[in-house]
Amino acid sequence: MSNATADVELKLGDKTLFGNDAGEDEDIEVLTSYFVNQPAFDDFLDSSVRLQVARARKGMGKSALLSKFAHDLAGLPTEPLTVHVVPSTLTGMLEPPDTENSTILENYWKQVICRAVGFEIAKAIGFAYRDDAITLVENAELAGFKGRSLIGALTSRLLGKITVLGAIEIKNNPVELRSHDQVLKRIQEEARDARDVWFLLDDLDTKYQNVPAQQAYVSSFFSACRSLIREIKGISIRATVRSDVWTSLRGAEDLDKFEQYVCDIAWSTAQQKDIIVKRIYAYVKRNHGGSHVATHWSIEKHADDFIELAFARRLKWGDSAVPAINILRIFSGGRPRWMAQLCRLAGNRAAVNKSARIGASEINEVMADFGKRRLADLYKEHLHQFQDLKKVVEAFSNGERRYRTDDLVNHITKTYLRGKSIKSVPEVDGAAFRDSMQIAHFLFKCGFVVGHNLEKATQDSPEFVTYDMRPDLLQVDTNLDDGMDWEIQASYRKALRIR
């Protein structure tokens, strides 16, 4: 234990201690200082890999991963052109067509991606780009880009469109006027041979609803990406999508061909510990750079010591005392954003209580508030898959925390389904309602219940089993539960007054 040498006292109520909830809103230098890498990110962060999409649930770090990659691109000697956008930015440039036709939608994505690149080129060279006067990438133009550098092709179009009153307005600056043609020509010459384009789209599924039009709109993006990568030199793509949305697209044509380009984000117990350690370490380096802790402690040798700067060494959990990370991991359900939010809430409470460290009492005091936030996230994330999710969840209020499989199914039948006709139950994850077991499996899938494996827990088989670990449970008749009970995920219990 090295805390005898600690000369740092953290401000537990400081909102920057555990980082920003939204990776895309975090100061990029701060984000990179505490970013935790893992082998699953190798292809996504490799600039020689042209196409990758990060897939995960909300709060798993998709936006942070994309921001980290954008930062890495900015440091490349090739100086690629980077277009980092969200869907609303693209909609503002070009309204999506009102159709479920995948061919038309695929072409829309190609057009709007190239238009976004065109805007970025115009901005980089000092032109005001008039969207109402030019469509850079009509169908015929896209076809003409095949085999060419995207920047070269678009810059050629720009060179042919410059007029005083035409498609591209020259800014009213005499100095800039004299050099614009040379700037354009130089960029065109350099771009054709060297400069690449990176198109980064965060939260592809923003405001997604599980209806045919939205399914076609989102799934056509993946087809457009494959097509652009094949047909146009020098463009590479990164994007993020929620795993539950991906699942709802399983009927889309050719989506199986895209699996090779997917990066799935999941966090092991050790990696979740690294997240907390690195955030505290980065905070100490920023705010106490001259301290003994900042200059002599290392993440490799003092991981537990860094955690103990913020948390009590052991926290009461049932009849035992455990390290803080054990409780944070369970309550956060493996999601870094949830873990950071819980740490922040508990830190604020510790500051109010004038506690030197965050203890079990501080965490217990904020669990009702934390649980309400988690329920709100649960509904936002999964209501599009099952419209009655809130009704089913509320049916567990004031009830037990743990159920045998038969008891779980019977509880759903006796509470939510009582008095309902089969026709009145909405689709469950895209399939017509069949029975209570189907709803139980969905609750497992969305993380409301987890398998409780305490009696058989080992290092390789943890106490709590999630859907990502065993997706076939509660679905395959020959092994419904693997001998486990089912427990309401800990973060929801206080808000639902579950015993």
Q: What is the pLDDT of residue 263?
A: 96
Structure confidence at residue 149 (pLDDT): 61
pLDDT at 163 over 70: no
Paired tokens of 447: 């993380």
pLDDT score of 309 more than 80: yes
The 10s digit of each residue's pLDDT in 35-48 is 999 999 999 999 99
Name the class of domain 41-264.
Answer: alpha beta
Spatial separation of the C-alpha atoms in residues 1 and 204, rounded to whole Å: 46
Band of pLDDT at residue 131, cut at 50, 70 and 90: very low
**Domain assignments of the chain as residue spans, ordered by start:** 3-17+268-382, 41-264, 389-493
Is residue 430 predicted with pLDDT exceeding 60? yes
Residue range 326-352: average pLDDT? 94
Q: How confident is the model at residue 49 (pLDDT cuts 50, 70, 90)?
A: very high
Q: What is the reported pTM?
A: 0.82
Least confident of 11-20, 74-83, 252-261: 252-261
